[in-house]
Amino acid sequence: MTSIQKVLLAIFVMILVVSCKNKESEKFVASEEVKTDYYTEPYRPQFHFTPEEKWMNDPNGMVYHKGVYHLFYQYYPEDIVWGPMHWGHAISTDLLHWEHKPIALFPDKHGLIFSGSAVVDFENTSGFGTKENPPLVAIFTYHLMDGEKAGRKDFQTQGIAYSLDNGDTWTKYEGNPVIGNDGIKDFRDPKVLWDEVNHVWVMALVAGDHLQLWNSKDLKKWTKRSEFGKDKGAHGGVWECPDLFPLQVEGTDEEKWVLLISINPGAPNGGSGTQYFIGDFDGEKFTTDQTETKWLDWGTDNYAGVTYNVLPKGYYGNTYDNDPRQDRIFIGWMSNWAYARDTPTEKWRSAMTVPRKLSLKKVNDNYSLFNYPVSEMESIIDNATKKNITVSAGTKESISFADLNQSEMLFKTASKNFQLKVSNSLNEEVVLTMFGDEKQFFLDRTGSGKVDFQENFSGVQQMPVPDLPADEYEVRVLMDQSSIEVFINEGQYVMTAQLFPNEKYSNLIIENLGEDEITFEDLTISKINGTW
């Protein structure tokens, strides 16, 4: 090669390197642009879980293992309306910041992958792993569409799958289904737990209008033990998504068992909702003296919620700082089957509630299940200055805030007669009203923004509040881009609802509806930072 050719070659290489660097730079800029636009669509929640795209409904397979919270969910990857169900998957270390993972479970010859649960098989009872590397085992409902279309009633069965790499990949059991169907049309949503007393796996499984309880020693062979609920609770629709777990009654040594049952339709404000029962469980039967129907959340948009499975006490010790230990953490689907397919989003559809800690308390000698945002929420809230606001009888106070659509409103009051209006410059508003004389709380989204996309969406939601403290109590309101969650007296009474304003809410009006001056103590309006 001549010296001139060497020079020309060097110049060519230099040009090629610069060109490649420019292309890499373009890629970097493009990726930054994508990141800038990420999760910024209209109504996209900023601190609630949503899929990157397409349809989502029930939370599934909620299990904590080796410092990781797994959230699986009903997912259709082809459209923003319900379709053939898969299990989507995401993970988190703090229940707030989520990493999207590949689809975990796909439909197969046995059917679509409907709702279910997951456990850590810590003793390797299934034989899928080892005691040193215990498997995660998912338990789910198969839904055979061809069977349903043919008019059969046995088209739902129960299957299992396992993972040996903490949920990254899954293998379905070759012996599926592990529970067949003798002809029950709605036979689904297995929630499995480990019974520490009797050293056996317990499955809560719904069968149309009631609950079935099953036992297994290895997660493969199951025996039906009992039934519950044909004559208990609300029966305005099909029972779904059961969850059974123990909770200690706060301030006592007493332990009771809690049973969650979602129902659709038949909720107190229409469509979908979640009821609960407080009782006892002996390893085979659940019993309760409860005669009234109790609701976990009186709003229209908290459905199919279940809680995280955790390992037996002391299994991990203090290995992981984020170990929930025996906390019972709940997440629900923030929608309602009455209008879920019609909400005005385009790239994705549906969100989850904020994670909530469940606690059991006695109020006036009755057991009450409280649900309140997990303490991790505090890490994303920019705490504002607290101030006391006094409102004279029949008057109003107005407070402006740049973006109430991503905020926390918090105060304490002894008043039982007041109204909160959250509004924007278009005069769209969501109205919260406490009527102490009637012992009722109302959430009115009639004029909140887009409400005419489905006839069942608009309206006033009502919640009885018969046992509020006579003195001061807390009111906490979390608002995201398309939702509002109201927690009264630290979760004694809760309402969750979707909202679709045409412009951000920016004004809070507090009105005294009573005849005496009232005070709102330590009132704060704080920004909630996004988690994506």
What is the reported pTM? Answer: 0.93
Secondary element (H or E) of residue 273: strand 273-281
Residue 33 has pLDDT above 80, yes or no: no
Domain ranges of the chain: 54-371, 383-528
Q: Looking at the domain that runs over 383-528, which CATH code has it been given?
A: 2.60.120.560
Could you say which DSSP state residue 376 is in? G
* Residue 476, strand partner residues: 410, 487
pLDDT value at residue 383: 86
Q: Is 320 exposed, middle or buried (0-12, 13-18, 19+ CB in 10 A)?
A: middle
pLDDT for 19 equals 40
DSSP 8-state secondary structure symbol assigned to residue 309? B
Q: Which amino acid is at 156?
A: Q
Tokens of 202: 């317990």
Kindly state the helix (H) or strand (E) to which residue 461 belongs, with its residue range. Answer: strand 460-464
CATH domain 54-371 topology = Tachylectin-2; Chain A (2.115.10)
Task: Count CA within 13 A, CB hemisphere, residue 143.
Answer: 20
Q: Which helix (H) or strand (E) is 435 found in, with range?
A: strand 429-435
Q: Can you tell me the distance from the alpha carbon of 87 to that of 429, in angstroms, rounded to the nearest whole number?
A: 36
pLDDT in tens, 386-422: 999 999 999 999 999 999 999 999 999 999 999 999 9
DSSP character string of 184-202: -SSEEEEEEEEETTTTEEE
pLDDT (tens digit per residue) in 7-31: 444 444 343 333 433 433 333 233 3
Q: Is the fold of 54-371 the same as that of 383-528?
A: no
Give the Cα separation of 45 and 508 in Å (integer).
Answer: 21
Active site residues: 58
Amino acid 231: pLDDT: 96
